[in-house]
């Protein structure tokens, strides 16, 4: 037995007694002693991840055991196994050569200047991680609502403390056009604003797959993996596109493991929750479930209105309230379509020298919505509600304060707001010239009553059904 092997075996005996058996098996059994020169023991570790884990969790233990064996001047050097193009591994020596402290282990095991950047053309020697982020995707212009509050809150928490929260990985999922890409890039932009020393990388799953293909062709998988290991916050969009791509999933699995174990932040987006991902390896799905899966749902009417208003403010334009309400009433499930309607509306108005009004909005929106909501008039709703409560229609428009009529009037306003594209002002005018604040109060009152009064809730449900059925008969 060589001297350096004997020294390392003695170190292992000490280490074995101070850490759990599973940890010893995982982190110390794979290490191999290489040489002992000038009180410096060189050990060989399988990869960069091993080094960073040892540095973070066991460097003090290594320091003590080395000094016990070699004295106060004892120090530790290391080699990392680097896969070569032909599949063999070469050892690269790093460490604290010439320094007496074994805890001089630090970042820099991988020579970044010799790692190829998959995002730039070959021939550039100096490696620089470009975030690949859209600077317009920020938290400031991301409208929060009940539909996205959990995902946004988790994203902001991550931005303040990347890699240190329990939201690692964060998986944001939902249908297309709900703002997933905006949100995950907003996290990246916020991290860059807060931490000048953090590297952030956004990449789509499709782009990542293409990088894998090119790396395989060029025998450069090792460069690609090492590049990704340098990232502090990795953001991968549309992770479901990795389905059935076995080799790509295998490489992403190793990148994921190494980033996660070294405290780096991982953020993913998908069109479905991790448990429903098909064509994905079970070990990847299991890891996606480690952190938080946050659903992004279709925004409600109020949130859609806020999104449209924010978009108008950024563009410096104004459109009538009844037009905004009409757009948001008809475009319900896709924020991109909502913004697309607004852009088309502006273009049509400018090119054709037309005023932006309800008629123009109806012409534009036909290109985005397969079927507009059929016309429902406030007068028709008044008629049905009056029949249901057994009161005259003119009483709904009058000023009487009898409870039965007040409830019928408020319920009519609630249905008019939910089932027509009329503005609050227009609805109020049909009810005897009442202002929009009265309509808002009536809507909120009915919403509150529906939560506590089953009779009101049943009446609303029955009337909505009757109105829709009557439209289908037309």
Give the model confidence (pLDDT) of 342-377 as tens digits.
888 888 887 778 888 888 888 787 767 654 445 578
What pLDDT was estimated at residue 256?
A: 93
What pLDDT was estimated at residue 117?
A: 55
What pLDDT was estimated at residue 47?
A: 67
Domain ranges within the chain, ordered by starting residue: 3-105, 149-295, 301-365, 378-472
Average pLDDT score over residue span 447-468: 84
Question: What is the per-residue DSSP string for 439-456?
Answer: HHHHHHHHHHHHHH-HHH
In sequence order, what are the beta bridge partners of 270?
173
Q: How far is Cα 471 from Cα 113, in angstroms, rounded to an integer?
A: 69
Closest to 236 in 3D by CA, of 216, 212, 262, 220: 212
Higher pLDDT, 38 or 118: 38
What pLDDT was estimated at residue 105?
A: 36
pLDDT at residue 159 is higher than 80: yes
Confidence of residue 222 (pLDDT cuts 50, 70, 90): confident
What pLDDT was estimated at residue 114?
A: 46
What pLDDT was estimated at residue 158?
A: 94
Q: Is the dihedral of CA 111, 114, 119, 120 positive or negative?
A: positive
Express as a percent the part of the chain with pLDDT over 70: 85
Q: Is the dihedral of CA 442, 447, 449, 454 positive or negative?
A: positive
Give the model confidence (pLDDT) of 177-217 as tens digits.
888 999 999 999 999 999 988 999 999 999 999 989 888 88
User: What is the reported pTM?
Assistant: 0.54
What pLDDT was estimated at residue 129?
A: 74
Phi, psi angles (nearest 5°) of residue 70: -115, 0
CATH 1.10.8.60 fits 301-365, yes or no: yes
Give the model confidence (pLDDT) of 80-116 as tens digits.
764 433 334 455 454 433 333 333 333 334 444 444 5
Confidence of residue 471 (pLDDT cuts 50, 70, 90): low
Most confident segment among 27-36, 130-139, 186-195 = 186-195
What pLDDT was estimated at residue 375?
A: 59
pLDDT at residue 474 is higher than 50: no
Closest to 332 in 3D by CA, of 370, 363, 361: 370
Average pLDDT score over residue span 154-161: 93
Average pLDDT of the chain to the nearest whole number:
81
CATH for 3-105, among 3.30.300.180, 1.10.10.60, 3.65.10.10, 2.60.40.10?
A: 3.30.300.180
What pLDDT was estimated at residue 345?
A: 84
pLDDT at residue 470 is higher than 60: no
- The CATH class for the domain spanning 378-472 reads mainly alpha
Give the domain 149-295 fold.
Answer: Rossmann fold (3.40.50)
Give the model confidence (pLDDT) of 247-303 as tens digits.
999 999 999 999 998 899 999 999 999 988 989 999 999 999 888 898 888 887 778
Q: How far is Cα 412 from Cα 124, in angstroms, rounded to an integer?
A: 68
Average pLDDT score over residue span 429-441: 90
What pLDDT was estimated at residue 353?
A: 80
């Amino acid at each position: 037995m060589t001297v350096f092997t004997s020294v390392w075996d003695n170190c292992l005996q000490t280490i074995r007694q101070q850490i759990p058996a599973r940890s010893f098996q995982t982190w110390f059994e794979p290490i191999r002693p290489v040489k002992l020169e000038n009180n410096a023991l060189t050990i060989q570790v399988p990869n960069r991840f091993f080094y960073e884990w040892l540095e973070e969790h066991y460097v003090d233990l290594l320091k003590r055991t080395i000094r016990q064996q070699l004295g106060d001047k004892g120090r530790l050097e290391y080699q990392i196994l680097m896969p070569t193009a032909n599949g063999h591994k070469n050892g690269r020596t790093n460490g604290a050569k010439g320094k007496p402290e074994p805890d001089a282990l630090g970042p820099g095991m991988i020579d970044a200047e010799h790692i190829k950047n998959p995002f730039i053309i070959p021939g550039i020697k100096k490696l620089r991680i470009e975030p690949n982020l859209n600077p317009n995707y920020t938290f400031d212009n991301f409208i929060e609502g009940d539909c996205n509050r959990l995902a946004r809150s988790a994203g902001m928490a991550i931005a303040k403390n990347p890699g240190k929260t329990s939201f690692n990985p964060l998986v944001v999922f939902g249908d297309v056009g709900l703002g997933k890409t905006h949100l995950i890039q907003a996290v990246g932009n916020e991290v860059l604003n807060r931490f000048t020393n953090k590297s952030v990388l956004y990449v789509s799953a499709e782009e990542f797959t293409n990088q894998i293909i090119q790396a395989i062709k060029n025998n450069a998988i090792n460069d690609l993996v090492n590049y990704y290991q340098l990232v502090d916050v990795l953001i991968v969009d549309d992770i479901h596109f990795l389905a059935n791509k076995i080799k790509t999933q295998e490489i992403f699995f190793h990148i994921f493991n190494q980033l996660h174990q070294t405290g780096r932040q991982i953020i993913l987006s998908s069109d479905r929750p991790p448990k429903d991902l098909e064509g994905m390896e079970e070990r990847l799905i299991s890891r996606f479930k480690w952190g938080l899966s946050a659903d992004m749902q279709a925004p409600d009417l109020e949130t859609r209105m806020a999104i449209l208003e924010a978009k108008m403010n950024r563009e410096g334009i104004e459109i009538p309230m009844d037009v905004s309400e009409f757009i948001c009433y008809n475009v319900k499930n896709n924020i991109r379509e909502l913004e697309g309607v607004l852009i088309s509306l502006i273009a049509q108005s400018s090119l054709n020298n037309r005023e932006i009004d309800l008629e123009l909005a109806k012409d534009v929106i036909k290109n985005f919505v397969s079927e507009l909501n059929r016309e429902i008039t406030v007068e028709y709703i008044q008629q049905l509600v009056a029949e249901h409560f057994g009161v005259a229609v003119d009483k709904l428009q009058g000023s009487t304060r009898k409870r039965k009529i007040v409830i019928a009037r408020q319920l009519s306003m609630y249905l008019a707001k939910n089932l027509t594209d009329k503005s609050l002002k227009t609805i109020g005018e049909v009810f005897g010239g009442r202002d929009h604040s009265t309509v808002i109060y009536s809507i909120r009152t009915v919403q509150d009553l529906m939560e506590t009064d089953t009779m009101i809730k049943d009446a609303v449900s029955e009337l909505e059904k009757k109105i829709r059925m009557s439209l289908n008969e037309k």
